[in-house]
Structure 1
Amino acid sequence: MQDAIYAPHWNRNAHSVICVLRGRAQVQVVDDFGQTVFDDELQQEQILTVPQNFAVVKRASNEGFEWVDFKTNDRAQISPLAGRTSALRAIPADVLANAFQLRQEDVSELKVNMERQGNTLLRPSRSSSQWRAIA
């Protein structure tokens, strides 16, 4: 899907090998200290290994992005950083507002959307400044 974002997540017990099938995406990987270790574009026929416990987010280009993730554990545990089961949901609204410089209204809307949505794929709404979760 064009311009879609696969929300930030991390693998608790497996490494992940991302193999790009088609399209391009901006991919960012951060270590468990929050330091960026990869922030670049991946395109068709490229491969990226994401170590266990490192967070990754993918944003498709306007031409879309198709990939396959191979995990090093048959029972890989994926933990989202957004959505119904995310760590962000448990953080108090005031802390989120201060940490990310958000208005209280935006944080409230974010938390309500996280409660309703369990999705990890986000796409821009008609106005490109807003994002919404999709199935």
Structure 2
Amino acid sequence: MRNEKDNRGIIVRDEHELQVVSPHQSREEEEREIEHRRGRGGRFNGIEETFCTARLKHNINDPERADFFNPRAGRLTSVNSLNLPILRSVQLSVERGVLYPNALMSPHWNMNAHSIIYITRGNGRIQIVGDNGQTIFDGEVREGQVVTAPQSFAVVKKAGSQGFEWVSFKTNDNAQVSQLAGRVSTIRGLPVEVVANSFQISREDARRLKNNREEVSVFSPSQSGRSDEIA
């Protein structure tokens, strides 16, 4: 991992102790976990894990299991049949998202699944657009509401001032997402000429569109998008 002004080669020798930034539960999340355990009597007898040979539980809320983490924006965790094989039997996968206040999840589209989004905490704004450019949903959402994003429709989520958390249930045991912005986006991989011709914009605007964000999946409120913000 390098910052923007690091001109060293591809292979770099670490001269000091290597440290990795990882997400941890906030105080509020820890309190909710304690309350949950108290509600169950604080006892786990293991029957859930030993009743059959298939593993039936996976803690998607564990911050240390996040697939993407940005210390200024939030985290994203996915569970599918690769890390919980029993999901193959029900043809479902799950996504857990936590955005910090005013943070943004990268515009994206679900390649092979519909997505049912249940807001678990906070508030935010969700926009859903079809492949013909028609907006089918653009509104504020809050805890307890459900929004469905059809397959192949572009989706973007932005957190409100209190943060935004959700769980998405997807109709495929290995749901795939294609991002439309950020360091690993589809547009980032296209030649400048293709982007310019597709959107009928100048080459300079196309270059800015391709490179406007260095973050992955979850974007900080800052517009800088510097590579050293990624963890």
Asked if 1:104 is matched to 2:201, the reply is no
Sequence identity percentage: 47
On the 8 A contact 1:14/1:76 being kept in 2, the answer is yes
Per the alignment, do residues 100 and 23 of structure 1 end up closer, same or farther by CA in structure 2, a change over 3 Å counting?
A: farther
Letter in 2 for 1:76: A
Secondary structure of the 2:133 match is coil
TM-score, length-scaled by structure 1: 0.79
Whichever structure has more strand as a proportion of its residues is 1
Instruction: Give the superposed CA RMSD.
Output: 2.7
Q: Is the 8 A contact 2:181 2:213 kept in 1?
A: no
Partner SS, residue 220 of structure 2:
strand
Pair 1:77-2:198 in alignment = no
Following the alignment from structure 2 to structure 1, what is the Cα–Cα distance between the partners of residues 148 and 206? Answer: 34
Cα deviation for residue 26 of structure 1 reads 0.8
SS at match of 1:23: strand
How far 1:24 moved relative to its partner? 0.6
Structure 1 residue runs without a partner (length 5+): none
Distance, in Å, in 1 between the alignment partners of 2:209 and 2:154 is: 24
Cα 1:11–1:109 change in 2 (3 A) is closer
Aligned length: 128
Residue identity in the other structure for 1:111: N
1:57-96 correspondence runs (5 A): 57-93=156-192
Paired residue for 2:130?
31
**Cα distance in structure 1, aligned partners of 2:173 and 2:209:** 36
Tell me if 1:54 matches 2:153.
yes
**Which protein, 1 or 2, shows the higher relative CO under an 8 Å CA cutoff with sep ≥ 6?**
1
What is the CA–CA distance in structure 2 between the aligned matches of 1:4 and 1:69, rounded to whole Å? 18
| Structure 1 residues 30 and 108, CA gap change in structure 2 (3 angstroms) | closer
Deviation at 1:33, TM superposition (A): 1.1
Structure (1 or 2) with the larger CA radius of gyration: 2
Once residues 108 and 40 of structure 1 are traced to their aligned partners in structure 2, the CA distance between those partners, rounded to angstroms, is 28
User: What residue number does 1:123 align with?
Assistant: 220
Unaligned runs of 5+ in 2: 1-99
CA apart distance, 1:91: 3.6
Q: Deviations over 1:60-84 (max 9, x none)?
A: 0011000011101001111111123
Structure 2 partner of 1:22: 121
1:96 deviation in Å?
5.2
- What TM-score do you get using the length of structure 2 for normalisation? 0.48
**Separation in 1 of the partners of 2:218 and 2:207?**
19
